[in-house]
């Protein structure tokens, strides 16, 4: 399989690095990157071919990964509009819908939309994927292979669900960082120095996530097992409930999903 990346930023570099680490031949990867510094870094780090603009050689690929910022995608794909053949095009540009991307590509339909998250940068991401019905099983597998190089993957049956993926896992790391931030601040308020409070907060979240990931039981059951009747955990959870914590989280996710739909409308305009 030959893969071309349009855009060579952090996420593209993470994907390339993950593929190479899994044994993918770097000779089968090309990158189109405007920055000379970025091209040099990619060539030096992975041994891939990096060029400033999409040329005929870069177009010779099985998979084209659109890895530029959403606001730049329309202009970035303009030079290749109508020039694609049977390539599967995978977009990791947040918010942009396949109908708009396909239109900008001159009617190309073999499209996959992917929503990775930032832990992909350390190989611990999760990506939601949706494919146009014209993409056969082989094309879906190729797209999944690329995104699975930086973590786990899930497929959704409806493109609209990608907005939900964005709201849960795409934006989710920020929610977790905020929780850690608040937990650390509470630790400092209880008299711990910043370094100790930070370690207590981060290692607790990390350990709890690992425990949940390795268990067949639901998070609710795991929570109950930590909660002794009349104990400290119960007191904290009662405080969470009194402040409407579950509803706060739900409203935040719904707000993120709604904003994702709005951004899709805005970014997909031709004017």
What mean pLDDT comes out for the span 257-271? 88
* Whether residue 189 sits in one domain with residue 58: no
Domain boundary among 162, 185, 210: 162
CB 42 within 8 A of CB 67: no
In a domain, 189, yes or no: yes
* Whether residue 132 sits in one domain with residue 7: yes
* Whether residue 176 sits in one domain with residue 157: no
For 114, counting Cβ atoms within 10 Å of its Cβ (0-12 exposed, 13-18 middle, 19+ buried), the class is buried
* Whether residue 183 sits in one domain with residue 136: no
* Whether residue 94 sits in one domain with residue 21: yes
CB 183 within 8 A of CB 202: no
Domain limits for position 73:
3-162
CATH number of the CATH domain containing 34 = 3.40.50.720
CA angle 56, 62, 67 (to 5 degrees): 80
Please count the structural domains in the chain: 2
* Whether residue 199 sits in one domain with residue 158: no
In a domain, 167, yes or no: no
* Whether residue 104 sits in one domain with residue 7: yes
Tell me the pLDDT band of 106, cut-offs 50, 70 and 90.
very high
* Whether residue 238 sits in one domain with residue 186: yes
Q: Give residue 267's pLDDT.
A: 87
* Whether residue 144 sits in one domain with residue 21: yes
User: Does position 48 have pLDDT exceeding 70, yes or no?
Assistant: yes
Q: Give residue 129's pLDDT.
A: 98
* Whether residue 134 sits in one domain with residue 56: yes
What mean pLDDT comes out for the span 29-41? 96
Q: CA-to-CA distance for 248 and 256, rounded, in angstroms?
A: 12
In a domain, 269, yes or no: no
* Whether residue 79 sits in one domain with residue 43: yes
User: Does position 201 have pLDDT exceeding 80, yes or no?
Assistant: yes
Tell me the pLDDT band of 271, cut-offs 50, 70 and 90.
low
CATH number of the CATH domain containing 208 = 1.10.3730.10
Q: CA-to-CA distance for 12 and 2, rounded, in angstroms?
A: 15
The 10 Å Cβ neighbour count of residue 8 is 24
pTM of the model: 0.92
* Whether residue 102 sits in one domain with residue 192: no
């Amino acid at each position: 399989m030959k893969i071309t990346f349009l855009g060579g930023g952090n996420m593209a570099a993470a994907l390339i690095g993950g593929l190479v680490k899994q044994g993918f031949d770097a000779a089968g990867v090309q990158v189109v990157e405007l920055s000379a510094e970025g091209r040099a870094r990619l060539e030096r780090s992975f041994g891939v071919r990096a060029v400033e603009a999409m040329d005929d050689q870069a177009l010779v690929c099985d998979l084209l990964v659109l890895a530029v910022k959403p606001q730049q995608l329309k202009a970035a794909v303009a030079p290749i509009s109508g020039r694609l053949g049977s390539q599967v095009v995978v977009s990791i540009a947040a918010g942009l819908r396949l109908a708009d991307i396909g239109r900008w590509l001159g009617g190309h339909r073999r499209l996959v939309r992917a929503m990775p998250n930032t832990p992909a940068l350390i190989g611990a991401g999760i990506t939601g994927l949706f494919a146009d019905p014209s993409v056969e099983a082989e094309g879906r597998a190729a797209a999944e292979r690329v995104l699975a190089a930086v973590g786990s993957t899930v497929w959704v049956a409806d493109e609209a669900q990608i907005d939900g993926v964005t709201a849960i896992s795409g934006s989710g790391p920020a929610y977790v960082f905020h929780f850690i931030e608040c937990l650390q601040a509470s630790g400092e308020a209880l008299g711990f120095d910043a370094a100790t409070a930070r370690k207590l907060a981060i290692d607790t979240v990390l350990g709890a996530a690992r425990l949940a990931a390795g268990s067949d039981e639901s998070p609710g059951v795991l929570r109950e097992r930590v909660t002794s009747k009349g104990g400290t955990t119960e007191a904290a959870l009662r405080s969470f409930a009194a402040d409407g914590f579950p509803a706060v989280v739900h409203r935040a996710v719904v707000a993120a999903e709604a904003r994702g739909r709005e951004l899709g409308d805005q970014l997909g305009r031709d004017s």
